[in-house]
Structure 1
């Protein structure tokens, strides 16, 4: 298994997003969206971020987030799920052990896990 530093360097080199305004907006979305995560679910080959509530703004933010992430990381697989009856919305990212590890690092999920424990 590669070290975290080596993986972060590979991720930075692989990122296809180069426009400074797009990078700034993607970082803003990370900050905004991750504050709204109610829980993180670890799957065998992916991570799922679950958002409670019916905040319609989150739908647009998630769409924009996926647009930028697809530009940055074209290898990443997304699954967006809307539960019935105004239930939670979730986004699952990854489709292999390697992409799962990269998602964990790129999305800084350890910060979400620490926040959720408080």
Structure 2
């Protein structure tokens, strides 16, 4: 826990003190690491994963951020949401085997929550892989 905390502080200081060039280099290294880890190679699977990204991300009500993860909130789940989320997670686990997912279904048809990440590094990688900066309802 101390290591993660100190690592997070170091990363914050480094990005603040050394500016954007370090941030771009850090992002480049993370993208390379992600590309090496990705096991999703079938073109049909990649196309379907991209479709799921587009479909699911339109249904997100809001995004919550913690120090180690992102949580996507789907306020009004429709009849296809569960199946799409399970398929999305399955593809993402092929591409990003290091990424932890936690799916929560609220009682009574309430919100569905998808949590991604469990450390500062996996949170950063989830941000890049999922292109979370492009979400229109980022909160």
Aligned equivalent of 1:41: 64
CA shift, 1:9, in A, is 2.3
1:1-118 to structure 2, matched below 5 A, reads 1=11, 3-112=26-135, 115-116=136-137
Aligned partners of 2:116 and 2:123 also within 8 Å: yes
Q: Distance in 2 between matches of 1:24 and 1:88?
A: 27
**Structure with the largest fraction of helix:** 2
TM-score, length of structure 1 as denominator length: 0.91
* Unmatched runs of 5 consecutive residues or more in structure 2: 1-10, 12-24
TM-score, length of structure 2 as denominator length: 0.78
CA shift, 1:5, in A, is 2.4
Structure 1 or 2, whichever has the larger Rg, is 2
Task: State the secondary structure of the residue aligned to 1:101.
Answer: helix
* Unmatched runs of 5 consecutive residues or more in structure 1: none
Cα-Cα RMSD: 1.3
Aligned equivalent of 2:22: none
Q: How many equivalent pairs are there? A: 115
Task: State the secondary structure of the residue aligned to 2:63.
Answer: strand
Q: Distance in 2 between matches of 1:108 and 1:61?
A: 18
